[in-house]
Amino acid sequence: MCCGDIREKGVDIEKGQGRVYHFAVTGKSWAVLKEHFPDLMSKIVVRGTIFARMSPDQKAQLVENLQELGYYVGMCGDGANDCGALKTAHAGISLSEAEASVASPFTSKNANISCVPTVIREGRAALVTSFGIFKYMACYSLTQFLSVLILYWISNRVTDFEFLYIDLFLLTTLMITFGRTHAYGKLHRVAPPVKLMSLAPVLSLILHILIMLAVQIFFFFFIQRASWFVAFVVDPEDEYNYVSYENMAIFVSSSYQYIILAIIFSKGKPYRKSMFTNYAFLVNLIIVFGVNAWLNIYPPDEIVDLFELKMPPNVPYRLIFLGGGFINLLLCLLLETLVLDSHFVTVTLQNKLDRILPGACPRYEEVESWLQGNSTWPPVTSEDLACTFQRLDSAFQMSKNTLNETDNLSLSSSESDSFRLTGSTGKLEFSLDDGYSAGADNSTFQCDDNTNESTRL
């Protein structure tokens, strides 16, 4: 069945202009299309709205066709005949705890589809969390790499206990509590990005790393302008002595940056709740920030010796590093919320990039674009398209019945030994038990007159 919605007045319905068509396909029609019109399957699937009365294999075929076009497919089923489609789909939801629950990754306690928005919300929250953790790990590694490179410039390095503090205390605890934020309560109409190599994630990594590099370089040269500054010189008698003002400046400024990265990548609305609802993460942030500020402003001598730091002589100067950390946080928040999450970057620029890069657009968008640009498809004429499919369905049913009758005829003739086919004319003759005889022309039957072998169509 094919139906259309008229978009404009004064259009030529006979030519199909001004209409957007939607198809309702049954299992019989699906079989006809798949066997005789495979080139139309992509168009029917893209514009298909209803797929009903389909066999288990046809359901799995439909899911596979949607996946080949680039769709992310969800399937709901409540019986054993849905197991194939539930297993094939990206997200299969069983609506019963019977056989279907074995094949599907999700099982609903309620026998209805009210759970679908919940699954989508949770899935989007998990996707955004995974992207955030990936970006945090990438930026953390690059930030630490930049710190090492700057200190290597003066033959210095990050000390062993500084590495342990950053990796075990800062990174590990923040990573554990980062993903404990729950999904947002409402389902957003726009899906989040699904590709790590899309424009927004790549720009986020590059621009944030540039900000981190700029802040570290600023403090590296800023501390050298102080009147009490003493440049680091390699001690030939103790080559493992890295105590210096440069080391302190890079370590303290980068320690704030690891906390800043965790904050900006822990996004909330519209896919996750606010990070203030994640109490474990919030307490973790308070603890690591407090310890960082303590090491920055007024650490005891034992801790200074343990970290191999060389602190500035006055506390007001140390507070400059704390202020620089807040400025760094503000710059990153503005960049992430106002620029990288804007509609211009995520939609406008991304769409332009997809048009330039080959294969960036999913196939279903290409099919939809072709359908919108060809108003003559489907070929609607005075004879309704539904009648055409009905004739095809009737032809398919007639051929199926003919095959069944032929099989029955072959079986009965084999049992009665009264089956004969003339070789010259292809005339099929057989006699019934009550003495009547009948004949049919069929040149596709082949059989020897003196044998009782079954026939083939």
Question: Among residues 117, 140, 168, which one ends one of the domains?
Answer: 117
pTM of model > 0.85: no
With 80 as the cut, is the pLDDT of residue 424 above it? no
Mean pLDDT computed over every residue of the chain? 82
With 90 as the cut, is the pLDDT of residue 170 above it? yes
Report whether 235 contacts 306 (CB < 8 A): no
Burial class (CB in 10 A: 0-12, 13-18, 19+), 261: buried
Same domain? For 102 and 136 the reply is no
Same domain? For 180 and 250 the reply is yes
Same domain? For 220 and 318 the reply is yes
Is 150 part of a structural domain of the chain?
A: yes
Is 59 part of a structural domain of the chain?
A: yes
Residue 305: its pLDDT value, please? Answer: 93
C-alpha distances out from residue 147 to 79, 175, 257, Å: 58, 21, 11
Cα–Cα distance, 116 to 93 (Å, whole number): 8
* Assigned token pair, 109: 């306690």
Domain that holds residue 298: 121-356
Cβ of 260: how many Cβ atoms within 10 Å? 25
Same domain? For 134 and 216 the reply is yes
* Assigned token pair, 61: 């075929």
* Assigned token pair, 444: 């596709």
With 80 as the cut, is the pLDDT of residue 439 above it? no
Residue 417: its pLDDT value, please? Answer: 45
With 60 as the cut, is the pLDDT of residue 442 above it? no
C-alpha distances out from residue 252 to 114, 139, 174, 298, Å: 51, 17, 18, 12
SS (H, E, C) 369-429: HHHHHCCCCCCCCCCCHHHHHHHHHHHHHHHHHHHHHHHHHHHHHHHHCCEEECCCCCEEE
Q: What is the CATH number of the domain that holds 43?
A: 3.40.50.1000
Is 180 part of a structural domain of the chain?
A: yes
Confidence of residue 131 (pLDDT cuts 50, 70, 90): very high
* Assigned token pair, 128: 């955004």
Going 210 to 214 to 215 to 219, the CA torsion angle's sign is: positive
Side chain identity at residue 55, one-letter code = S
Task: Judge if the upstream peptide bond of residue 378 is cis by omega within 30 degrees of 0.
Answer: yes
* Burial state string for 366-380 with b = 16 or more CB within 10 A and e = fewer than 16: ebeeebeeeeeebeb
Higher pLDDT, 7 or 147: 147
SS (H, E, C) 20-43: EEEEEEEHHHHHHHHHHCHHHHHH
Same domain? For 84 and 136 the reply is no
Cα–Cα distance, 323 to 215 (Å, whole number): 12
- DSSP structure class, residue 182: P
Count structural domains, the chain: 3
Cα–Cα distance, 74 to 89 (Å, whole number): 6
Confidence of residue 451 (pLDDT cuts 50, 70, 90): very low
C-alpha distances out from residue 21 to 49, 173, 337, Å: 10, 54, 39
Same domain? For 75 and 167 the reply is no
C-alpha distances out from residue 164 to 139, 167, 339, 354, 438, Å: 18, 5, 34, 43, 95
Same domain? For 150 and 296 the reply is yes
Residue 302: its pLDDT value, please? Answer: 94
Cα–Cα distance, 197 to 138 (Å, whole number): 13
Residue 11: its pLDDT value, please? Answer: 42
Same domain? For 420 and 316 the reply is no
Q: In whole angstroms, what separates CA 168 from the centre of its chain?
A: 32
Question: Among residues 338, 356, 374, which one ends one of the domains?
Answer: 356
C-alpha distances out from residue 202 to 213, 260, 261, 295, 436, Å: 17, 18, 15, 33, 83
Backbone angles phi, psi at 304, to 5 degrees: -60, -40
Same domain? For 324 and 450 the reply is no
Cα–Cα distance, 119 to 132 (Å, whole number): 20
Span 279-336, pLDDT tens digits: 999 999 999 999 999 999 999 999 999 999 999 999 999 999 999 999 999 999 999 9
Q: What number is the average pLDDT over the span 405-417?
A: 51
Span 303-317, pLDDT tens digits: 999 999 999 999 999
Cα–Cα distance, 421 to 427 (Å, whole number): 6
Is 399 part of a structural domain of the chain?
A: no
Contacts by 403-407 with C-beta closer than 8 Å and gap 24+?
403/457, 406/455, 406/457
Tally of residues, the chain: 457
Q: Which of 89, 107, 101, 171 is nearest to 137 (CA)?
A: 171
Same domain? For 103 and 132 the reply is no
Question: Among residues 117, 147, 180, which one ends one of the domains?
Answer: 117
Confidence of residue 14 (pLDDT cuts 50, 70, 90): very low
